[in-house]
Amino acid sequence: MAVAHPQILAFDVFGTVVDWHGSIAREMAARYPQVDGDAFALAWRKGYQPAMDLVRQGQLGWTRMDALHRRILDGILPQFGLGDMPEAERADLNRVWHRLAPWPDAVAGLQRLKSRFVITPLSNGNIALLTHMAKNAGLPWDCVLSAEVFQAYKPDPRAYLGVADVFGVEAASVMLVAAHHSDLAAARQCGLQTAYVERPLEYGANQPKDVTPQPDNTYHCRDLLDLADQLGC
Amino acid sequence: MAVAHPQILAFDVFGTVVDWHGSIAREMAARYPQVDGDAFALAWRKGYQPAMDLVRQGQLGWTRMDALHRRILDGILPQFGLGDMPEAERADLNRVWHRLAPWPDAVAGLQRLKSRFVITPLSNGNIALLTHMAKNAGLPWDCVLSAEVFQAYKPDPRAYLGVADVFGVEAASVMLVAAHHSDLAAARQCGLQTAYVERPLEYGANQPKDVTPQPDNTYHCRDLLDLADQLGC
What are the pLDDT digits (tens) for A79-102? 999 999 999 999 999 999 999 999
Across the interface, whether the CB atoms of B166 and A134 are under 8 A apart is answered: no
Mean of pLDDT values over A199-219: 96
Separation CA A145–CA B168 (nearest Å): 17
Across the interface, whether the CB atoms of B127 and A168 are under 8 A apart is answered: no
- Asked if pLDDT for residue B2 goes beyond 80, the answer is no
Average pLDDT, chain B: 97
Around Cβ B140, how many Cβ atoms within 10 Å? 13
- Asked if pLDDT for residue A1 goes beyond 50, the answer is no
Question: Which residue among B114, B131, B166 sits closest to A143, beta carbon to beta carbon?
Answer: B131
Separation CA B90–CA B182 (nearest Å): 31
The phi, psi pair for A204, rounded to 5°, reads 95, 165
Residues in chain B within 8 Å Cβ distance of A126: 166
Q: Which residue of B has its CA nearest to A137?
A: B142
CA distance B82 to chain A (A): 26
User: What is the side-by-side order of every strand in the sheet holding B118-123?
Assistant: B145-146, B118-123, B8-11, B174-178, B193-197, B219-221
At A71, which amino acid appears? Answer: R
Q: Which residue of A has its CA nearest to B66?
A: A168
Q: How confident is the model at residue A2 (pLDDT cuts 50, 70, 90)?
A: low
- Residue intervals in chain A for CATH 1.10.150.240: 20-99
* Cα atoms in the 13 Å half-sphere on the side-chain side of B214: 18
Across the interface, whether the CB atoms of A135 and B127 are under 8 A apart is answered: no
Q: State the alpha helices, DSSP H only, in B151-233.
A: 157-167, 181-189, 224-230
Q: How many CB pairs under 8 A join A and B?
A: 54
Q: What is the pLDDT of residue B4?
A: 85
Question: Which residue among A118, A131, A167 sits closest to B142, beta carbon to beta carbon?
Answer: A131
Across the interface, whether the CB atoms of B127 and A143 are under 8 A apart is answered: yes
- Asked if pLDDT for residue A50 goes beyond 70, the answer is yes
- CATH class entry, domain B8-19+101-230: alpha beta
Nearest in space to A13 (alpha carbons), one of A60, A90, A65: A65
CA distance B138 to chain A (A): 10
Across the interface, whether the CB atoms of A127 and B166 are under 8 A apart is answered: yes
Across the interface, whether the CB atoms of A131 and B144 are under 8 A apart is answered: no
Domain B20-99 has CATH 3.40.50.300: no
CATH of domain A8-19+100-230: 3.40.50.1000
Residues in chain A within 8 Å Cβ distance of B167: 128, 131
Question: Which residue among B66, B144, B167 sits closest to A143, beta carbon to beta carbon?
Answer: B144
Residues in chain A within 8 Å Cβ distance of B132: 118
Phi-psi region of B225 (alpha: psi -120 to 50; beta: other; left: phi over 0): alpha
Separation CA B66–CA B125 (nearest Å): 8
Across the interface, whether the CB atoms of B127 and A145 are under 8 A apart is answered: yes
Q: Which residue of A has its CA nearest to B119?
A: A131
Average pLDDT, chain A: 97
pLDDT in tens, B69-117: 999 999 999 999 999 999 999 999 999 999 999 999 999 999 999 999 9
